[in-house]
């Protein structure tokens, strides 16, 4: 007897399904149902729910919304757990040596340069180091770290982006991505970095290249960048003919 998935979900009992499949007995189905946690029916109106404890963690900022800079002597490790969107929660295989990085850059006709970003391209830009707190929305992970790299604004200028570019999408090796407005990325504190506490980024912390946005929660500081794409909802209209 053939049954549709809809019939299985809507009309047939567990015992009937077991008899048809020949895999599970009614007793086994009953035992499984007994072990499954009972779920409350979803309320048919808005109700109060307890807030998640300790979330979001405080993110100390300056009055102007920028991140406080810490002395380099305060730098240290980042606490666990780190989040990767992989089955084993580990960094995906990649060329981790920043000197061999290869990042796809697509300006979509909105900049004079596009192609594959190499480390020698970044070496042409002013190198900067800043010490910031990295804080996720949850209490962990967190840590004060000295990051070394280049300002994202200098990188954007290297590409020769037109003024009409509004957004940038950065994609990580685990296919996590963030979309940020260019107004945010051009803030002088936003960095593309390859050194952490004066050492090459470890794979678990985003080698070979990661973004640092110190005035946002840590999940916006995307790790292990593999692609950078620029976009705009629409370019400014040209002047009307008089």
**pLDDT digit string, tens, across residues 189-230:** 999 999 999 999 999 999 999 999 999 999 999 999 999 999
CB 209 within 8 A of CB 225: yes
- Alpha-carbon gap, residue 201 to 173, rounded angstroms: 15
Q: Would you place residue 62 in the very low, low, confident or very high pLDDT band (cuts 50, 70, 90)? A: very high
Domains along the sequence of the chain with CATH: 72-231 (3.90.420.10)
- Alpha-carbon gap, residue 223 to 52, rounded angstroms: 26
Nearest to 86 by CA among 192, 203, 229: 203
Q: How far is CA 49 from CA 41, 45, 80, 137, in A?
A: 14, 12, 28, 20
Nearest to 209 by CA among 77, 113, 124, 97: 97
CB 147 within 8 A of CB 191: yes
**Cβ contacts of 112 within 8 Å, gap of 6 or more:** 159, 160
Q: Give the model's pLDDT for residue 89.
A: 84
- Alpha-carbon gap, residue 11 to 14, rounded angstroms: 10
Question: Is residue 81 reached through a cis peptide bond, with omega within 30 degrees of 0 on the bond before it?
Answer: yes
Task: Return mean pLDDT, the chain.
Answer: 87
* Highest averaged pLDDT of the listed ranges 4-13, 18-27, 178-187: 178-187
Q: What does the pLDDT look like over 172-183, one tens digit per residue?
A: 999 999 999 999
Q: Give the model's pLDDT for residue 19.
A: 43
Neighbours of 92 (CB within 10 A): 15
Q: Looking at the predicted structure, is the pLDDT value of residue 25 above 70?
A: no
CB 208 within 8 A of CB 92: no
What b-and-e string marks burial along 178-192, b requiring 16 or more CB atoms within 10 Å of the CB? Answer: bebebeebbbebbbb
CB 169 within 8 A of CB 161: no
Q: What does the pLDDT look like over 124-162, one tens digit per residue?
A: 999 999 999 999 998 889 999 999 999 999 999 999 999
Q: Would you place residue 236 in the very low, low, confident or very high pLDDT band (cuts 50, 70, 90)? A: low
CB 190 within 8 A of CB 213: yes
């Amino acid at each position: 007897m053939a049954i549709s998935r809809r019939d299985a979900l809507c009309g047939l009992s567990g015992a009937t399904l077991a008899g048809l499949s020949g895999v599970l007995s009614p007793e086994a189905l009953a035992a499984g149902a007994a072990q499954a946690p009972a779920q409350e029916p979803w309320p048919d109106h808005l109700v109060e729910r307890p807030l998640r404890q300790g979330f979001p963690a405080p993110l100390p900022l300056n009055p102007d919304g920028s991140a406080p800079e810490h002395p380099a002597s305060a730098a240290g490790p980042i606490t666990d757990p780190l989040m990767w969107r992989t089955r084993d929660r580990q960094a995906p295989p990649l060329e981790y040596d920043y000197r061999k990085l290869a990042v796809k850059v697509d300006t979509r006709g909105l900049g004079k340069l596009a192609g594959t970003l190499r480390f020698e391209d970044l070496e042409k830009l002013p190198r900067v180091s800043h010490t910031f707190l990295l804080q996720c929305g949850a209490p962990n992970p967190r840590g004060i770290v000295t990051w070394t790299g280049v300002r994202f604004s200098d990188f954007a200028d290297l590409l020769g982006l037109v003024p009409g570019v509004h957004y940038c999408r950065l994609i990580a090796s685990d296919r996590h991505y963030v979309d940020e407005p260019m107004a945010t990325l051009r803030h002088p504190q936003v960095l593309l970095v390859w050194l952490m506490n004066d050492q090459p980024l470890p794979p678990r912390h985003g080698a070979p290249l990661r973004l640092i946005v110190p005035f946002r929660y840590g999940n916006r500081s995307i790790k292990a960048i593999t692609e950078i794409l620029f976009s705009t909802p629409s370019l400014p209209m040209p002047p009307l003919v008089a």
